[in-house]
């Protein structure tokens, strides 16, 4: 069964063998060296660790991916996302300057506003996706772990010296996600109930200075909490003490975000996909659509006007066999029309879930397609994303 | 008396006369994690030793199950269609995959005894 046979078959995939033996994640490095401030806590909780983007990270705890996923949607889950890059831009023109690199409306942000945006390349491709929050003296950015050094170099190279770029290596990042996240966090810091989705503030949590945003990567209500690395274990332990909270690994993080229809960089979006193709046009600011002025804006704005040749959509198999990344998508009859970019089993859906790119003629919800799994074409349909409705708290 | 053998790839086969029952080891199910789908062959299919007999999918990965010996598939465990988690709960018993009419029981001698397999798994830990 494995590992030797699987290795032979899976040489085309970057990570399949390790996937089978240890868990579902990719972006593996051969020699993981770095540890987050919570590494010792993960070990003491019995986590199964895997290399991910240069860090030794928990893919699952003893409860397992299914139970962790279900728990997060029902109660609250705690995720260590300290491997992600936290970058501060400071200076009076930080927003104007960052806006030359992203299609989001950054100058329109008020203090405490958070926005999802993208670094784009000159050809319109996506270099990374990120969260930007406006603060007193500039902007705080959260970028993907695997891209953080490239993003930092990109900012350093592209921004004028009046906007200082600083990698906050001494910060940790926790995500508390799920319908009971608010109850748990508000016991330690009542002010968090004043935040709505995509708002952030400096808030002291149990005596620890934190930067808290109401945001996440699961589709659930929840918070992301940045704090000094040396206070992270203390706060994580306090949160885990709450009966509602269980630790959640990268495995369930992936299945949660997939059901929520959220993109994973390097899979659903990368340098070859534009924001319009990725169905992320909503992240292009209204004013930016007229003015342009970000890398690749000519390509991207032309696609906004005229349509893109392909688009990211949900693709749901009719049967039980999950279609994994790189599964071929065909029109009924056999014409190749695209590829799955994220696919697997959705624990909340209770069956296969996937998304991928199809040529524009096939993007309409309800269009029948075929997924080629193990050489066999299997019926599937284009479906609306997300699979599980978002439960963001947008008003109080 | 039924005889139990293992492959290096973590399949087991229990032989009774010329009928073999095939599944995956407890170590394998534990390493795979939550099993969410099992694809089984058609009853009547003829398999050579080493042919793909089934596919087992955990939350994120697919793995192939190979026929430990040659033979004809005489039964598949339909229970796994409705509840593939049986493999996690009882991989050596109710979580069996297929039954085969074994062509040549001498192929069994190429497989590991339970003790040899246990020693091998110990070495993997």
Give the mean pLDDT of A323-331.
97
pLDDT band with cut points at 50, 70 and 90 for residue B30 = very high
pLDDT at A323: 96
Option in B24, B36, B37 nearest A1 (CB): B24
Has residue A222 been placed in a domain?
Answer: yes
pLDDT at B61: 85
Q: How many CB atoms lie within 10 A of CB A160?
A: 10
B58 with A20: Cβ contact below 8 A: yes
pLDDT at A6: 35
Has residue A118 been placed in a domain?
Answer: yes
A66 with B39: Cβ contact below 8 A: no
Domain boundary among the residues A198, A225, A259 is at A259
pLDDT band with cut points at 50, 70 and 90 for residue A17 = very low
What residue of B is the nearest CA neighbor of A342?
B60
Has residue A271 been placed in a domain?
Answer: no
pLDDT at B97: 98
- Parent domain of A133: 85-167
Backbone angles phi, psi at A188, to 5 degrees: -95, -25
A67-77 pLDDT tens trace: 999 999 999 99
- ω before A386 within 30° of 0 (cis)? yes
pLDDT band with cut points at 50, 70 and 90 for residue A33 = confident
Give the mean pLDDT of A124-132.
98
Q: Does the model's ipTM exceed the 0.85 cut?
A: yes
B88-109 pLDDT tens trace: 999 999 999 999 999 998 999 9
- In this structure, are A144 and A71 located in the same domain? no
Assign B43 to helix, strand or coil.
coil
- Residue A42 corresponds to which tokens in the numbers above? 């993960």
- In this structure, are A187 and A74 located in the same domain? yes
Q: Which residues of B touch A70 (CB under 8 A)?
A: none
pLDDT band with cut points at 50, 70 and 90 for residue A396 = confident
- In this structure, are A143 and A182 located in the same domain? no
The residues spanned by each domain of chain B are 3-119
At residue A359, does pLDDT exceed 70?
yes
Option in A5, A321, A344 nearest B60 (CB): A344
Cα R_g (chain B), whole angstroms: 13
B37 with A344: Cβ contact below 8 A: no
Whole-model pTM: value is: 0.92
Q: Which residues of B30-63 are buried (b: 16+ CB within 10 A; e: fewer)?
A: ebbbbbbbbbbbeeebebebeeebbbbbbbbbbb
Has residue A390 been placed in a domain?
Answer: no
CATH of B3-119, one of 2.40.50.100, 3.30.530.20, 1.10.10.10, 2.40.37.10: 2.40.50.100
Q: What is the CATH number of the domain that holds A112?
A: 3.30.70.1400
pLDDT at B125: 79
- In this structure, are A190 and A73 located in the same domain? yes
Alpha helices in chain A (DSSP H): 4-9, 16-22, 39-44, 65-74, 94-99, 148-158, 181-188, 232-241, 250-259, 286-291, 297-306
Q: Does B61 touch chain A (CB under 8 A)?
A: yes
Chain A positions with Cβ closer than 8 Å to B: 1-6, 9, 16, 19-24, 60, 64-67, 251, 254-255, 320-322, 324, 344-345, 347, 352, 374
Q: Which residue do the tokens 């990109």 mark?
A: A154
Q: Is the model more confident about B110 or about A5?
A: B110
- ω before A351 within 30° of 0 (cis)? no
Has residue A396 been placed in a domain?
Answer: no
Considering all CA atoms of chain A, what is the largest pairwise distance in Å, rounded to the nearest integer?
63
Q: In chain A, how many domains are there?
A: 3
Give the mean pLDDT of A83-111.
97
Give the mean pLDDT of A322-336.
96
- In this structure, are A74 and A130 located in the same domain? no
- Residue B100 corresponds to which tokens in the numbers above? 């085969």
At residue A30, does pLDDT exceed 90?
no
Give the mean pLDDT of A279-295.
96
- In this structure, are A119 and A253 located in the same domain? no
pLDDT band with cut points at 50, 70 and 90 for residue A10 = very low
- In this structure, are A161 and A178 located in the same domain? no
Nearest Cα to Cα of residue A85 among A43, A122, A128, A48: A128
pLDDT band with cut points at 50, 70 and 90 for residue B1 = low
Residues of chain A with pLDDT > 70, as a percent, come to: 92
Q: How many CB atoms lie within 10 A of CB B113?
A: 12
At residue A348, does pLDDT exceed 80?
yes
What residue of B is the nearest CA neighbor of A345?
B59
- In this structure, are A222 and A106 located in the same domain? no
Alpha helices in A126-231 (DSSP H): 148-158, 181-188
- In this structure, are A49 and A175 located in the same domain? yes
Average pLDDT value for chain A = 92
pLDDT band with cut points at 50, 70 and 90 for residue A357 = very high
pLDDT at A342: 97
- In this structure, are A324 and A372 located in the same domain? yes
Q: What is the CATH number of the domain that holds A217?
A: 3.30.1360.120
Cβ pair B35, B109 in contact under 8 A? no
- In this structure, are A140 and A205 located in the same domain? no
pLDDT at B2: 82
């Amino acid at each position: 069964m494995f590992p030797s046979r699987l290795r032979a078959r899976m040489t085309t995939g970057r990570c399949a063998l390790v996937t089978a033996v240890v868990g579902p994640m990719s972006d593996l490095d051969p020699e993981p060296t770095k540890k987050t401030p919570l590494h010792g806590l993960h070990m003491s909780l019995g986590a199964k660790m895997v290399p991910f983007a240069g860090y030794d990270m928990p893919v699952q705890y003893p409860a397992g991916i299914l139970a962790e996923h279900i728990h997060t949607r029902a109660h609250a889950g705690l995720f260590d996302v300290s491997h992600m890059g936290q970058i501060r831009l400071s200076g009076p023109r930080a927003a104007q300057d960052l806006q030359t690199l992203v299609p989001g409306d950054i100058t329109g942000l008020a203090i405490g506003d958070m926005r999802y945006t993208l670094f784009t390349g000159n050809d319109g491709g996506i270099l990374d996706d990120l969260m930007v929050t406006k603060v007193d003296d500039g902007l705080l950015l959260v970028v993907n772990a695997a891209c953080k050094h490239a993003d930092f170099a990109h900012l350093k190279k592209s921004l004028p010296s009046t906007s200082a770029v600083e990698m906050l290596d001494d910060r940790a990042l926790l995500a508390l996600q799920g319908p009971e996240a608010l109850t748990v966090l508000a016991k330690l810091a009542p002010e968090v109930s004043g935040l709505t989705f995509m708002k952030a503030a400096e808030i002291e949590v149990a005596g620890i200075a934190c930067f808290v945003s109401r945001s996440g990567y699961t589709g659930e209500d929840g918070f992301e909490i940045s704090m000094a690395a040396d206070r992270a274990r203390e706060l994580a332990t306090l949160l885990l003490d709450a009966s509602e909270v269980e630790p959640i690994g990268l495995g369930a993080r992936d299945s949660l975000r997939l059901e929520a229809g959220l993109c994973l960089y390097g899979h659903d979006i990368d340098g070859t996909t534009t924001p319009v193709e990725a169905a992320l046009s909503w992240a292009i600011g209204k004013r930016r659509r007229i003015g342009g002025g970000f890398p690749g804006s000519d390509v991207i704005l032309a696609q906004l006007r005229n349509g893109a040749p392909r688009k990211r959509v949900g693709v749901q198999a009719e049967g039980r066999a999950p279609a994994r990344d790189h599964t071929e998508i065909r029109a009924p009859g056999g014409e190749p029309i695209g590829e799955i970019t994220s696919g697997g089993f959705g624990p909340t859906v209770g069956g296969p879930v996937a998304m991928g790119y199809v040529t524009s003629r096939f993007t309409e919800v309800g269009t029948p397609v075929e997924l080629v799994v193990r050489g066999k074409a299997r019926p599937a349909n284009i479906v609306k994303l997300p699979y599980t409705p978002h439960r963001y708290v947008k008003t109080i | 008396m039924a005889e139990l053998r293992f492959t290096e790839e973590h399949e087991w086969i229990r032989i009774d006369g010329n009928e073999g029952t095939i599944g995956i080891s407890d170590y394998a199910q534990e390493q795979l994690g939550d099993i969410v789908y099992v694809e089984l062959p058609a009853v009547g299919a003829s398999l050579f030793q080493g042919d793909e007999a089934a596919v087992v999918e955990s939350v994120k990965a697919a793995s192939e199950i190979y026929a430990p010996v040659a033979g004809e598939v005489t039964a598949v465990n339909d229970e796994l269609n409705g509840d593939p988690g049986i493999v996690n709960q009882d991989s050596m018993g109710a979580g069996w995959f297929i039954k085969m009419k074994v062509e040549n029981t001498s192929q069994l001698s190429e497989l590991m005894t339970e003790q040899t397999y246990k020693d091998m798994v110990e070495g993997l830990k």
